[in-house]
Amino acid sequence: MERFELAVIGGGPAGLAAALEARQNGIERIILFERERELGGILQQCVHSGFGLHLFKEELTGPEYAERFIESVRQSDIVCKTDTTVLEISGDRTVKAVNAADGFMEIGADALILATGCRERTREAIGIPGDRPAGIFTAGSAQRFMNLEGYRIGKRAVILGSGDVGLIMARRLTLEGSEVAAVVEAMPAPSGLNRNVIQCLDDFGIPLLLSHTVISTIGKERLEGVRIAQVDSRMQPIAGTESLIPCDALLVSVGLIPENELALQAGISTHEDSHGLAVDERMQTDAEGIFACGNAVSIHSLADYVTVQGRLAGRSAASFILDRRGRTELEPMYQDGRHTAK
């Protein structure tokens, strides 16, 4: 089994920052796993601007922001395994992964950093009744289809949920020539940033229907419309307020959940309510030597903060590794099984 000092799982802004920071803090053998072909994580599909205002004092797009870190990683000796999915991690810090070129691999590391990001809540998660016709997407997967694959999503869309991803997609669809009939939000106030309401909806005259929700979808093969209704303060549809909006696409933007399948399998604790990994102030999970950062810990609305947190995790992992190395060198007979030297 090949050994590394540090293995980082996930090549988004969190993982990139963590790996670079550990490298700068004297860690030499680092491996980074990313299941996509390119590094950068979700930033690659966020082609809009609004990244880097804190760290670089410039307004960058997602890919530009990512590239600054990807370049530094490329110029370093950090081993990057892209197109590689991590299948399993264990508490003793071994990582099982697979890709087309190397096949199955198992590596051991002195410390791990989990930076696996988040996934989207789906329509199923909020339970809208209706058939399952084509044309219903989560906002993030629609963003991916449009921005990375170049597909058109639909001619007339309704967006459910006013999270930032939904707002940004409303503008994106409009610019690409689709009509956005409405953004429908069950709460009395938009959940995304005000700046996104202004520059994504107001700029284009897209209606925002607050205290409204989608109660059912219509269409068998392809979506033909959605039925919406006003909701009361307990989120229950109010009788007599129903109306029909014809549309061939519904984008669901109802929130993100940290992605922690790997950690859960390994028995690492998460917060019950947020699903984020439970970490201490140095970003260490309850498994010794396993650190975490970014959206896997909690949902961040700014990539800059993710980078800052990634750096903290990288620094903490580096001092954990150096500290342990110091101890094993000083005390070759160190008895704790977890601390045996390579």
Partner 1 sequence: MMNQRTLSCIVCPKECALEVSMLDKVVTYISGYSCERGRQYAHDEILCPSRIITTTVSIEGGVCKRLPVRSSSPFPKERINEWMREVKELRVKAPVQVGEVLIAGILGTGTDVISSKSVAQDQ
Ligand X SMILES: Cc1cc2nc3c(=O)[nH]c(=O)nc-3n(C[C@H](O)[C@H](O)[C@H](O)COP(=O)(O)OP(=O)(O)OC[C@H]3O[C@@H](n4cnc5c(N)ncnc54)[C@H](O)[C@@H]3O)c2cc1C
Contact footprint for partner 1 (CB under 8 A): 37-38, 47-49, 53-54, 59, 61-64, 67, 146-150, 175-176, 193-195, 198-199, 203, 301-302
Choose the one of ligand X, partner 1, none that binds residue 117, judging by a C-beta under 5 to 8 angstroms depending on kind: ligand X
Q: Which of 6, 7, 10, 217 binds ligand X (CB under 6 A)?
A: 10
Angle at 34 between CA 30 and CA 40, to 5 degrees: 100
- With respect to ligand X, which residue has the nearer C-beta, 178 or 253? 253
Q: Which residue has the tokens 């410390």?
A: 111
Contacts of 232 (CB under 8 A, 6+ apart): 238
Q: Decide whether 52 or 161 has the Cβ nearer to partner 1.
A: 52
Instruction: Give the one entry of partner 1, ligand X, none that residue 211 binds, where binding means its C-beta sits below a cut-off of 5 to 8 angstroms depending on kind.
Output: none
Cβ neighbours for 331, distance < 8 A, ≥ 6 positions apart:
none
What's the longest Cα–Cα distance across the chain?
A: 77
Considering only the stretches 13-21, 173-181, 227-235, 271-279, report the one whose residues sit in contact with ligand X under the rule CB under 6 A.
13-21
| 314 belongs to the binding site for ligand X (CB under 6 A) | no
Supply the minimum distance, in Å, between the C-beta of residue 203 and ligand X: 15
Stretch that binds ligand X, among 30-38, 99-107, 179-187, 281-289 (CB under 6 A): 30-38
| Under 8 Å between Cβ of 159 and 166 | yes
Cβ atoms of 93 and 111 closer than 8 Å: yes
Tell me the closest approach of the beta carbon of residue 208 to partner 1, in angstroms: 15
Judged by beta carbon, residue 22 or residue 157, the one nearer partner 1 is 157
Establish if 34 lies at the interface with ligand X (CB under 6 A).
Answer: yes
Alpha-carbon torsion (97, 102, 105, 108), positive or negative: negative
Helices 62-75/303-330 angle, 10° precision:
20
Which of 4, 6, 8, 12 binds ligand X (CB under 6 A)? It is: 12
Q: If binding is defined by CB under 6 A, does position 295 make contact with ligand X?
A: yes
* DSSP secondary structure of 257-273: EE--HHHHHTT--B-TT
State yes or no: residue 85 binds ligand X (CB under 6 A).
Answer: yes
CB of 175 to partner 1, least distance (A): 6
**Nearer Cβ to ligand X, position 42 or 228?**
42
Regarding 116 and contact with ligand X (CB under 6 A), the answer is: yes
105 binds, among ligand X, partner 1, none (CB under 5 to 8 A by kind): none
CA 77 to CA 94: how far, in whole Å? 21
Cβ contact 3:342 at 8 Å:
yes
Using CB under 6 A as the binding rule, whether residue 47 contacts ligand X is answered as no
Helix (H, G, I), strand (E, B) or coil at 198: helix
Query: Residue 289 touches which of ligand X, partner 1, none (CB < 5 to 8 A by kind)?
Result: none
DSSP 187: S
Q: Shortest Cβ distance from residue 327 to ligand X (Å)?
A: 31
The distance of closest approach from Cβ of residue 123 to ligand X in the complex, given in angstroms and rounded to an integer, is 17
CA distance 159 to 175: 15
Residues of span 164-183 touching ligand X by CB under 6 A = 164-165, 168
Q: Could you give the CA distance from residue 15 to residue 59 in angstroms, rounded to a whole number?
A: 22
- The answer to whether the beta carbons of residues 35 and 4 sit under 8 Å apart is no
- Using the rule CB under 6 A, give the single segment among 101-109, 184-192, 221-229, 293-301 that binds ligand X: 293-301
Taking CB under 6 A as the rule, does residue 21 contact ligand X?
A: no
User: Which listed residue (8, 14, 223, 292) binds ligand X by CB under 6 A?
Assistant: 14
Encoding tokens for residue 262?
């790997």
- ∠ CA 23-25-26 to the nearest 5 degrees? 70
The pair of structure tokens assigned to 229 is 């209704």
